[in-house]
Structure 1
Amino acid sequence: MARLKDTAAPLKDALGDALLTLMREMPLKKITASQIASLAGLGRVTYFRHFSSKEEVLAYKYRTAWRDFATHHWYDQADDRASATARFQFCLQVREINDVVYDAQLGCILLEVIVDTLVDETPEPTAVAGSDTRAADAADRAVYLSRFKAHALSGLIDAWIRGGYRQLPEEMAAIYISFLSPELESLGARGSERRTGGRAARMRRLQRIREAAERRNPRRYVIDDGS
């Protein structure tokens, strides 16, 4: 089913842009809803119809920016490296917003949105019968793993931003992957069962071959369709 168009999006975008403009000029605590609405050419009532706080406005700006990014960039959501690369590239694309938000000590808003986008991409675990404890444990493990990966990646993104974006997104994604054990990476975003034996060994072997090939000729994991 097609997603319904948000008819209020232009109004919310204008309020978000106005808030970011004001944040470049004064501390966030001194900015009022009336100032935001006035700069956006809207009424104060319109502001409160759509937002309950300035932090909510900033989260909206990040979420809409991510939706736009994801629309114009394809990547394999089941591939940990591709998913991480996409987030680092996105954060680099919205660097001007990050500068303002981090100056206001509100980087947690970006990180929360990053975690939400990662969790949204993780399929819900298949329901299991109450008596099947092994299947239930595997389903729980998949949920815990997806949360672990999401928060680990958001923490790495936070350190990268605070460090001045010194590494390329692809380099940071490689660092992220290097922190995952072969077992964790082999589970993947869609896995719910542990891979063992020969298959796990093959996975690790293929990973080492892939990383060696990338050092010789780095691959591009996020593809821009040019639109």
Structure 2
Amino acid sequence: MADRELRNGDNFAALYLKEIEKKENPNFNMDQLMGVIFDLFVAGMETTSSTLTTAVYLMAKHQDVQRRVQEELDEVVGRDRLPSFSDMERLPYVQATIHEVQRIFSLAKFALPHMTSEDCKLGGYDIPKGTWLMANLDDALKNSEYWKNAREFDPQNFLDEDGKYKRNSAFMPFGVGKRTCAGEPMARLELFLFFTHLFQRFTFTLVEEYKPIVETNPTFNAAPEYTASVKCRPK
């Protein structure tokens, strides 16, 4: 019953199964479907969830930043409606804070491997065609050459002297080059909406910190472990 309902639905898995049944394209098969679903959970849902968990931790730990985020949300959006993606450009401090969370968290320390399509020279080094290259994202995100306060959580890293949001080419949490994370637009939307909805309505206070951002292995970090209290903001 469940299998029949899945195949008759209009969700991603159902549409994919219909393509497999057509047998028109061998690239649509069960192994590929399992791989894509795995990627959706691990590379899509888990990364966003871990970043939001880290955002709550950092906001609860840095009450001054949380207050400024809430003040900007109150001034620009108010309390009568929820923030929308169209508000982003009018919320420079919120933008800077979300990006600073991603920078400090540095979830993926290295980008996915790339391969040179021809012989080239980079930084004085000869790199032959067919060489595998991996960008060190963690170094770009934590290098004092590119950031005012490289090792501290400080949204000012993404603000200019006038308090406007400022892009930084060293900010590359989604990878580097033409083949960056395909889910970046969706992730940016999700992070912004969840973050602003949470802090428009609630205030978080750190109760107990068990582990800060955890370096699980040489390539990935894990979200911190902590307990926080949550209070509804008075209207």
Name the structure where strand makes up a greater proportion of residues: 2
Name the structure where helix makes up a greater proportion of residues: 1
Tell me the TM-score range normalised by the shorter chain: under 0.3
- Which is bigger in relative contact order (C-alpha 8 A, separation at least 6)? 1
Return the TM-score normalized by structure 1.
0.26
